[in-house]
Amino acid sequence: MVVIELLYNLFALVALSVLSGFIDNICDRASLRGKVLQGLLFGLIALVGMRYPFVIEKGLIFDGRTIVISLCTFFFGPVSGLIAVVIAFAYRLWLGGPGVIMGVTTILTAFLIGYYFFVDSREKQREVTWKRLYLMGLIVHLVMIILMFSLPSVHIRETLRLVAVTVFLFYPLITVLIGKVLADQQERKKTLRLLSLQENTFRLLVQNSADIIAVIDKDAVIKYLSPAVTPLMGYDAEKLLGSSSLELVHPEYLPAVVERLEDLLLHPENISVSEILFRHADGHYCSMEVVGQNFLHQPGISGIILNLRDVTERKRNAEALLQKIEELERFQRLTVGREIRIIELKKEVNMLLKESGKPAKYPIAE
């Protein structure tokens, strides 16, 4: 019966601890306001536990305040822990009775042990594991059992008989249970913060990129277009959403584009690189270097990502350079050929002069 009454109290505290996650969503635990709110919450949870405890006799009660205060300090730091301590300490003093010295002392020791684990985790970057939670719970409640000897001597034996085993066996387990709830909330908050940061970074990069970033589905229907499509191709990005990207491709390039798309669907690990002509909003075609990769099975994307870079100017410059090279080569051939012909004519003149017994007129280096 003792075990059942204590477990009712402890599981009520488990349910109340879930409220910590709601507060953390409203007000970040790292802020002073968040720390104060968490301290008030856990102080009230400890108070609720003392309002409905297991009673040995009036003023000698057992509840889950040590679990609540140690976990509050461990997860939210000394500010939150001290606020919870003040609430629990004041209420326990007000209750009075033969267990008051033990009651307030267990509150203080739970705070100190929780603070030690808080500092140790921060300094050594330790993860919150069930083993560490169990160890903390075990230490806190072994100290509680030792402090039972501070009770008036008439109550020590009976108190040890009634609650010592329950405290030793179940309190560390409830510490793990509530601790895992808080750890999961903490990890979820970190994950959401990281996702938000990555999303904002991606949006910032995409919206400020000089290249066009596009996402299409397996049928080449446009799901997303970055703002760069307006200066580069003259289109309003929103108006193209839901239309087929193949409609913008030059007819001569269409078979090759369809083939590339099918290859990406069959081989998601491949990265496709190609140069394609796309129709500009004013009707002319611009040359784009397109890099595509299949992310259809990636949650949050579910599409093929395309990076389009306008290479029209680069291609025009390359063609102009090639034309200049060809002109220079043609000029060189003409010039060199003329010089060779003049040398041959000079040789013939020198030979005729020599045959007529006259000296050579043109010096020629052999």
Cβ burial of 267 (10 Å; 0-12, 13-18, 19+) is: exposed
91 or 366, higher pLDDT: 91
Query: 314, 308 in Cβ contact below 8 A?
Result: no
Domain stops at, among 154, 178, 203: 203
Does 74 share its domain with 110? yes
Domain count, the chain: 2
274 and 191 in one domain?
A: no
Same domain as 197, residue 219: no
The conformation of residue 361, written as its DSSP 8-state character, comes to: S
Gap between the Cα atoms of 327 and 319, Å rounded:
12
Please give the torsion angle defined by the CA atoms of residues 168, 170, 76 and 126, in that order, rounded to the nearest 10 degrees: 70
pLDDT exceeds 60 at position 33: yes
Residue 136: is its pLDDT beyond 70?
yes
* Domain assignment present for 331: no
Is residue 356 a part of any domain in this protein?
no
Among candidate residues 310, 325, 344, the one where a domain is terminated: 310
Residue 48 forms part of a structural domain:
yes
Task: Say if residues 32 and 79 touch (Cβ distance below 8 Å).
Answer: yes
362 in a domain, yes or no? Answer: no
Residues 278 and 194 in one domain: no
pLDDT of residue 327: 67
User: Using one digit for the tens of pLDDT, what is the confidence trace for 85-108?
Assistant: 999 999 999 999 999 999 999 999
Q: Which of 7-11, 325-329, 343-347 is predicted least confidently? A: 7-11
For the chain, the C-alpha Rg in angstroms (whole number) is: 41
Residue 330 lies in a domain: no
| Number of neighbouring beta carbons within 10 Å of residue 323 | 10
248 has a pLDDT exceeding 80: yes
pLDDT value, residue 191: 77
CATH of the domain at 302: 3.30.450.20
- For 140-186, what is each residue's pLDDT tens digit? 999 999 999 999 999 999 999 988 988 899 899 989 988 888 888 88
Note whether 175 and 140 are within 8 A (CB): yes
CA 304 – CA 87 distance, rounded (Å):
57
Query: Which domain, by its residues, includes 144?
Result: 2-203
pLDDT at 222: 92
> Where do we find the tokens 């998601």?
268
- Give the end of a domain, one of 177, 203, 229: 203
Q: What pLDDT does residue 269 have? A: 87
Residues 74 and 51 in one domain: yes
Work out the pLDDT band at 1, boundaries 50, 70, 90.
very low
**pLDDT tens across 37-87, in order?**
999 999 998 998 898 888 888 999 998 899 999 999 999 999 999 999 999
The reply to whether 127 and 276 lie within a common domain is: no
pLDDT on residue 336: 55
Residues 199 and 218 in one domain: no
25 shares its domain with 88? yes
Mean pLDDT, range 176-199, rounded to an integer: 79
| % the chain with pLDDT above 70 | 78
Query: pLDDT of 273-313, one tens digit each?
Result: 888 899 999 988 888 889 999 988 887 778 898 998 888 77
The reported pLDDT for the residue numbered 360 is 67
Question: Does residue 258 share a domain with residue 152?
Answer: no
Residue 141 and residue 143: Cα distance in Å, rounded? 5
Q: Is residue 161 domain-shared with residue 143, that is, in the same domain?
A: yes
Residue pointed to by tokens 């326990």: 92
- The per-residue pLDDT for range 222-238, each reduced to its tens digit, is 998 888 888 888 899 88
Whether residue 8 is predicted with pLDDT greater than 60 in this model: the reply is no
CATH number of the domain that 92 lies in? 1.10.1760.20
